[in-house]
Structure 1
Amino acid sequence: MKVIIVGATGFLGSEVLRQALARKDITKVVAVTRRVLAENVVKADAEKKMENVVVKDYDVYDEKAKGAFAGADGCIWTIAITPMRASKTPWEEVVRVCQTSTLVGLRTIFESGPANPFRFLYVSGVSGERDQTKKPWYHTQYCLMRGETESQVLAYAKSHAPLIEATVAKPGLIVDPGNLGQRVLSMGLRVTGVVPSVGLREISKAMLDQVVGGFEKDPLLNADLVRLGAGA
């Protein structure tokens, strides 16, 4: 199986890449990044399995990138600007990165001739609100925009069914078990019930399993990701 990982140098994307390269049921990985992956990111014996496609940005794709996308069976899209960063970034740029780039990327991959069916998994967040009539209390504009992006991804897939299958992962706080500070924060959030959390290895395994084996449902909520990633 050939899988595209967009944002393979990020916090989540790098773990998805690590696990994808270790799986025998994934035979080819296309790691899409804005900078060349460091030599120590992957072992030498994985180099033939992985192709690093470096793009100017995630809404700009040249012919080389399109060629790498051809025949892909699935994609995990991890690119976004977090709510905290969004508050310090011009809104037009937030929309470009979180929404425009996602739709441009999905359309470009589809036009490049992926496998049939092609599975697209979009990583959003627990706060993304698809119902545009609602007014979330937390980062209202941001949450509505992320929810709108979810709906646009699903609508594009529906309009190209059965060639494209899509789902949205909606995690809460993604926690690196090797980071003590994050573990303490996660425990506090779970106790207070403010924000659910999922381990970095758990969500990565869950998403890869879904892309390889088929989507169980939409959306994949935080509890689903914890359950599906159990034992990671």
Structure 2
Amino acid sequence: MKLVVSGATGFTATEVIRQSLSNPRITSVLALARRPVTVPENLPPGADTSKLKSVVVEDFGKYFDDAKKQLEGTDACIWTLAVTPSKSRSLPWDEVLKTCHDYTMEGLKAIFETRGSGKATPLRFLYMSGVAAERDQTKTPKFMAQYTLMRGETENQVVAFAAAHPGQVEVTVAKPGLILQPGNIRHWLSSWILWLLASLPSVGVVGISAAMLEQVINGFEKDPLMNDDLVRIGQKVLSEGKS
């Protein structure tokens, strides 16, 4: 399987790549980022670093010939590129919208259009959103309404793209809560406070990465994949030693 990972220098994407390099079902990992992607640290035994290909994309709204050439034959994509809720407060809205929405849709279209017609299976596209993203555009969320509605509308359009290409594209949306790093006391403390104040769930970065990889490899269980689903799937994969 040829896997594309966007936002590849990010926290979760780095763990996805780390696990991918030791998964025998994945033969190639294409890491898309604005700067070169290096091999992650603490690789598990059996990791094959030769599978990693770093592709620098200076503008995720435009895919030039070299990038398109690299995308040919893609089997699956885990799209993590986005602006987090906390960072969105300090950026102009048009930049947040472009990064979270426009780049997602342009990336999906580019991967679909360049993958070629010889594939026996559909393109599997997993979009990582967030638990608070609201697909129902008639609602007014209490927390960061503009942002959460925008993320929900991006989910809607990703799903609609697959519906417009039946048998050619399969999508699901991962909707985690707070993503935790092992051994990071600050993360775990934040998780406890957010759960206490807002009932915000959490998932470990190792678990969500294992869950997303399992889904793109074996097929999507459902849409969306909520935080509980990601925890459950990730725990099962890790307990079976598949990551």
- Asked whether the two chains share a fold, i.e. TM above 0.5, the reply is yes
- Which residue number corresponds to residue 97 of structure 1? 99
Counterparts of 1:199 and 1:42, CA distance in 2: 17
1:229 aligns with 2:234: yes
Counterparts of 1:38 and 1:207, CA distance in 2: 21
Q: 1:39 to 1:221 in 2, by over 3 A?
A: closer
- Which residue number corresponds to residue 71 of structure 1? 73
Counterparts of 1:51 and 1:40, CA distance in 2: 13
Is the CA contact 2:158–2:171 (under 8 Å) kept in the aligned structure 1?
yes
- Which residue number corresponds to residue 24 of structure 1? 24
Counterparts of 2:235 and 2:33, CA distance in 1: 28
Counterparts of 2:210 and 2:65, CA distance in 1: 31
- Which residue number corresponds to residue 11 of structure 2? 11
Share of identical aligned residues, percent?
49
Which one of 50, 55, 58 corresponds to residue 56 of structure 1?
58
Q: Which amino acid in structure 1 is aligned with residue 58 of structure 2?
A: K
Counterparts of 1:200 and 1:180, CA distance in 2: 14
Q: TM-score, normalised by structure 1?
A: 0.94
- Which residue number corresponds to residue 135 of structure 1? 140
Report the Cα offset of residue 193 of structure 1.
5.4
Q: 5 Å matches for 1:139-178?
A: 139-178=144-183
- Which residue number corresponds to residue 208 of structure 2? 203
- Which residue number corresponds to residue 241 of structure 2? none
Where in structure 2 are there 5+ consecutive unaligned residues?
239-243
Counterparts of 1:42 and 1:35, CA distance in 2: 21
Where in structure 1 are there 5+ consecutive unaligned residues?
none
Q: Which amino acid in structure 2 is aligned with residue 4 of structure 1?
A: V
Q: Which of 185-194 and 120-129 deviates more?
A: 185-194
- Which residue number corresponds to residue 38 of structure 1? 38
Report the Cα offset of residue 207 of structure 1.
0.2
Report the Cα offset of residue 39 of structure 1.
5.8
Secondary structure at 1:71 match in 2: coil
Counterparts of 2:195 and 2:42, CA distance in 1: 34
RMSD over aligned CA atoms reads 1.8
